[in-house]
Each structure stands twice: as structure tokens, then as C-alpha cells.
Amino acid sequence: MGKMKLKIKFFREGPHSTLCDEEFYDAVETGLDKIDEENQLRDRLKQKVVSIPTSPTTSAAKHRLWPEIDKVSTEQLHYARLGVGGAGGWQLFAEDGDMRMYRREEEADGLVVDPLKACHVVKGVTGHEVCNIFYSPEYRSGWEATLEDMTVVEKISDDTLVFLQTHKRIWPASQRDALFWSHIRRVSDDQDPDAHDLWIVCNHSTEYTEHPPNAGKCVRVYLTVCLVCQTFIDPPKEGSEITRDDITCKITYCSVVNPGGWAPAAVLRAVYKREYPKFLKRFTSYCIDQCKDKPILF
């Protein structure tokens, strides 16, 4: 009997990948489905006991990064509050109940960096609670589906942290990591007197010599993300205390993500269309579940 020769193909991320766009997307979709299954199993087996951190401070103003942190956070709050109509080029690409997701198609150096803007309304949680969960490291693995590892590189202050995150590899793409500062603050809201409070979390990529980009197996992702939350309270019945049934949170989520390495534009946009709505629904459901049996935090 003659010997059979086994041919093994090695697929590498890049514009010369031997996978066509459809095969590339199918592979990424399969990898994401597997991560979903793993997360569902983990959620059933593991119950997290966490605490909501205290109100943020402003001691980050003494840090070398503060001018950038303050500038970017202020800009992102402004952008988040702008509408999506007019000549901005926003396209509605997902809609589910009160959730709306918009994007603009943009590329930088041949890479898809489509800005995303999502608007959602959820009941039973405050803006402070939602932003705390988005910001605090102890909650991160509960709602960020692709997270493999997370390190707090520096605690600048109670309201400002620097994170290094590694995300699970989704074949055939290379594994990704991200290095970014994260800042949470409460802001005054003169635009909407009916809103009881307004909170923002802003994440923005940074550089540390101790953690250079693309030095190992991971491709560095560059991002600017903000989450803006407003709390609205329906007046309770006379003589009654405010309950979670009286609370509504308006959420605006904005992001610009540069994937750092090549992937087919059509594939990335198809993945974003599938994953962003899942992310926002997962995150808000997680917030409701974490807060439902706790005292209300305004």
C-alpha cells in the first residue's frame, strides 16, 4: 500500500490570506459562537460576589496623563450627546426594542475603523450603577465576552485606571490586546433638567514603555470608547420610597476601534453588525442582574 501524503495549510492573517472573505467570516463566526458557549457555561457555574466602589475622586489631576484624560473625556461627552441626523453620515444598522445602533464607514491606512454609536434605554438601574460596572475591574469578566486576561497596569486614582487586556484568539485572526486608560466621572447636566444625574466612562488607548505594542503574539488594538448614562426617576406614589421600578437609565455608547492588523473589511463589518448588539444586550442584562437585589446607588 502506497504512503499517503498529508498536506497541511498554514493560514496567516493578512491581505494575502488564502481564505476568501466568506471563509474568513465563517471561521470568525465559529470562534465567536464558541466563546458564547463558554461564557454561558461559566455564567451558570459561577456566581460573582462583588461590591460597587465608592464615589470617584479627582486626584488623577496630578498625573502626567491628566491633560489628555480630561480633554478626551470632555470631547467624548460632547460627541455622545450630538444627534445622528443631518449630514453626519450615520447609518442605522441594528434595532431591537429601545436599542438603536448606528455607524459611519471609515478606514485608516486600509483598516476598518468605523465609528459606532448606540442608544439604549433600560429600567431598574441608575447611570451611576451602569457606569461603575463598566469601569470597575471586578465586573469586567462578567460582561466582556472575549476577555482572556486583564491587568491593572496603574491605579492613577479611584476614578482612573490603566488596563492591559488580552482577548481570546479567534481563528484565523491574530490574538489582540489593548492598553488603555479608563476614567469615570459625574458631570453636571444643564441640558436636561429632568435627568437626576449624568455619568461618563471614557477609555482611550495609551502607551507605556513597559508594555510595547506588537512585541509578542498579540496585535495591539487602538480604541476610544465612551459610555454616557443618565438617570430618570418617575415620581413614586405619595408616601412611597423610590424603587427600581421608578428608575430608567438612558445609555449612549460610542466607540472607534482600530483593529491594528489586517482583516477583510467586509468581514469586520459583518462581525460588528452581529456582535455589537449582542454586547450591549449582554452588558445591560448583566447590570440589571447585578443591581436588582442591592440598595439603589444614585
Q: 53 lies in a domain?
A: no
Per-residue model confidence as pLDDT tens digits over 281-294: 999 999 999 999 99
Q: 217 lies in a domain?
A: yes
Q: CA 199, CA 156: separation in Å to the nearest integer?
A: 19
Per-residue model confidence as pLDDT tens digits over 38-79: 555 444 444 333 333 333 446 899 999 999 999 999 999 999
CB 193 within 8 A of CB 217: no
CB 150 within 8 A of CB 165: yes
Half-sphere exposure of 119 (CA within 13 A, CB side): 12
CB 247 within 8 A of CB 231: yes
Mean pLDDT is lowest, of 11-15, 152-156, 178-182, 230-234, for 11-15
Q: CA 57, CA 44: separation in Å to the nearest integer?
A: 35
In which element (H, E) is residue 176 found? strand 176-187
Is pLDDT above 70 for 98? yes
Highest mean pLDDT among 81-85, 100-104, 270-274: 100-104
Other CB atoms within 10 Å distance of the CB of residue 130: 28
Give the mean model confidence (pLDDT) for residues 211-227.
Answer: 95
The pLDDT-based confidence of 16 (bands split at 50, 70, 90) is low
- Per the model's pLDDT, the better-predicted residue between 218 and 170 turns out to be 218
Q: 87 lies in a domain?
A: yes
Q: 14 lies in a domain?
A: no
CATH code: domain of residue 257? 3.30.530.20
Q: So what's the pLDDT on residue 158?
A: 95
* 3-class secondary-structure state, position 55: coil
In which domain, by residue range, is 86 found?
Answer: 21-43+65-291
Q: 55 lies in a domain?
A: no
pTM for the full model?
Answer: 0.80
Q: 279 lies in a domain?
A: yes
Which residues, at least 6 apart from 152, have a Cβ–Cβ distance to it below 8 Å? 137, 161, 162, 163
Q: 1 lies in a domain?
A: no
130 phi, psi to nearest 5 deg: -65, -45
Q: So what's the pLDDT on residue 27?
A: 60
Q: CA 115, CA 134: separation in Å to the nearest integer?
A: 19
Average pLDDT, the chain: 84
Q: So what's the pLDDT on residue 236?
A: 81
* 3-class secondary-structure state, position 110: coil
Q: 52 lies in a domain?
A: no
Q: Is the peptide bond before 277 cis (omega within 30 degrees of 0)?
A: no
Q: So what's the pLDDT on residue 268?
A: 79
Whether the CA torsion 90, 193, 285, 159 is positive or negative: it is positive
The CA distances from residue 160 to 140, 155, 202, 223, 287, in Å, are: 15, 7, 10, 17, 21
Q: So what's the pLDDT on residue 37?
A: 56
Residues pairing with 96 in the sheet = 99
- Per the model's pLDDT, the better-predicted residue between 20 and 49 turns out to be 20
Number of domains in the chain: 1
